[in-house]
């Protein structure tokens, strides 16, 4: 059995980091990742955080929410259903650097006029000029190195009027082994299995998220562990 090292974040590259990934492999992997999140309740962590940020916002006011690294738009579709139920007026924007993924997301969101998509790299000047009320970052930060994460978060705090919700993985041996078992039973997709395991090793310890938060001293932070091996980090401006 492979010996695990979780003291530091892995630098191994995921297949999904290739923005040119397209076709049936991309479509199937995005769908499988959507199912994994649904089965493990991952998206609810973001929605719970969103409910907290919206608590003091007037329901008749349109709130713009950007989902960075939106993939096939599953998170936004789930939020749209939730918002309709709770009478929130939301403008939802999915942002992703993979144009092929954006095309898939647009087709899946045909019944959701409140959702739109932008094919943008978050390091581009065009993205940095965008302004939103709330930014969502679900399973996106772990794709980047620590210095890049510091830069990303500083841009987010300048863009988001109300706040930011980070939903990302805890790096641990237990999470890694349990995901191996989960994949053996439920996931018949080599990309999703391989990338999922790399993602865990690229995830975070709580003290690392606290260190990132200290680079943003003007904001209010709440960092909490959630099942299944996730951290919910709410940044309020």
The CATH number linked to 198 is: 3.40.50.150
Query: Is the pLDDT assigned to residue 71 strictly greater than 80?
Result: yes
What is the per-residue pLDDT across 202-218, written as a single tens digit (0 to 9) for each?
Answer: 999 999 999 999 999 77
Domain that holds residue 44: 15-236
**pTM given for the model:** 0.94
Distance, in Å, from the CA atom of 29 to the CA atom of 23, rounded to the nearest integer, reads 10
Please tell me what DSSP assigns to residue 136: E
Q: What percent of the chain has pLDDT over 90?
A: 75
Pick from 112, 100, 127, 121: nearest CA to 27? 100
Does residue 101 belong to any structural domain of this protein?
Answer: yes
Does residue 104 belong to any structural domain of this protein?
Answer: yes
Does residue 62 belong to any structural domain of this protein?
Answer: yes
Query: Is the pLDDT assigned to residue 21 strictly greater than 80?
Result: no
What is the per-residue pLDDT across 146-198, written as a single tens digit (0 to 9) for each?
Answer: 999 999 999 999 999 999 999 999 999 999 999 999 888 877 778 888 999 99
pLDDT of 153 reads: 97
Pick from 216, 84, 111, 81: nearest CA to 160? 216
3-state helix, strand, coil in the chain (%, to 5): 45, 20, 30
Distance, in Å, from the CA atom of 169 to the CA atom of 228, rounded to the nearest integer, reads 9
What's the domain count of the chain? 1
Does residue 145 belong to any structural domain of this protein?
Answer: yes
Does residue 200 belong to any structural domain of this protein?
Answer: yes
Does residue 2 belong to any structural domain of this protein?
Answer: no
Distance, in Å, from the CA atom of 213 to the CA atom of 210, rounded to the nearest integer, reads 5
């Amino acid at each position: 059995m492979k010996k695990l090292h979780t003291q530091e974040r892995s630098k191994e590259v995921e297949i999904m980091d290739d923005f040119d990934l397209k076709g049936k492999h991309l479509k199937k992997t995005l769908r499988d990742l959507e199912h994994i999140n649904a089965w493990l309740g991952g998206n609810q962590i973001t929605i719970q955080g969103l409910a907290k940020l919206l608590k003091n916002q007037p329901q008749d006011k349109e709130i713009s929410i950007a989902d960075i690294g939106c993939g096939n738009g599953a998170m936004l579709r789930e939020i749209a259903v939730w918002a309709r139920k709770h009478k929130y007026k939301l403008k939802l924007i999915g942002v992703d650097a993979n144009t092929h993924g954006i095309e898939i997301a647009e087709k899946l969101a045909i019944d959701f006029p409140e959702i739109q998509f932008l094919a943008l790299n978050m390091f581009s000047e065009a993205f940095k000029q965008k302004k939103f009320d709330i930014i969502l970052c679900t399973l996106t930060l772990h794709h980047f190195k620590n210095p890049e994460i510091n830069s990303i978060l500083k841009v987010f705090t300048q863009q988001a009027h109300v706040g930011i919700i980070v939903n990302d993985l805890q790096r641990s041996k237990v999470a890694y082994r349990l995901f191996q078992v989960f994949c053996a039973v439920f996931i018949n997709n080599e990309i999703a299995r391989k990338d999922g395991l790399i993602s865990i090793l690229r995830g975070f310890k709580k003290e690392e998220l606290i260190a990132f938060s200290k680079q943003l001293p003007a904001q209010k932070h709440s960092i909490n562990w959630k099942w299944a091996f996730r951290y919910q980090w709410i940044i309020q401006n």
